[in-house]
Amino acid sequence: MVLVASALNSPIYDATLLLGLLTLVRKSVSGKEPLSAKVLVELYFIPRLAAILDIDHTAIRQEAAWILTNIAASEEGYVNEMIKCEIHLKLLSLLRSPSDELKEQVERRNQTY
């Protein structure tokens, strides 16, 4: 998990690789490993996810939003980290996306604020 998150903190220009790494992170944060969200926060991964939300790739944005949902749901203090990175503003702008799946993730994420 730490190696995958570290890899995501470096620039990745291949969309398939980035999507695969994000999917691994999302699955790892999805409940079975409660410390995973903490590890991501400690690795300063939230600002990286904020940058990933700017990538013009629906599936990548969806995975990033899903990870953010899981992090925010894991501990209240993590929401403050997300607000510092202005993730809520980025997520709100993604509501204009033509992708219903992406909008669903964004709506779910905004309910945790």
Instruction: State the pLDDT at residue 84.
Output: 87
DSSP H helices in the chain: 2-8, 15-29, 36-42, 45-52, 58-74, 76-84, 87-94, 100-110
Q: Compute the CA torsion angle 47, 31, 94, 22 (nearest 10 deg).
A: 60
CB distance 1 to 36 below 8 Å? yes
pLDDT digits (tens, 9 = 90+) for 15-65: 888 899 899 888 888 756 555 788 788 778 888 888 899 888 889 988 998
Instruction: State the pLDDT at residue 19.
Output: 92
> Is the entire prediction scored with pTM above 0.85?
no
Q: How confident is the model at residue 12 (pLDDT cuts 50, 70, 90)?
A: low
> Of 10 and 99, which is predicted with more confidence?
99
For the chain, give the percent of residues with pLDDT over 90.
Answer: 4
Instruction: State the pLDDT at residue 74.
Output: 79
CB distance 41 to 49 below 8 Å? no
Domain boundaries, the chain: 35-113
Report the mean per-residue pLDDT for the chain: 78
Instruction: State the pLDDT at residue 80.
Output: 85
CATH class of the 35-113 domain in this structure: mainly alpha
Instruction: State the pLDDT at residue 34.
Output: 53
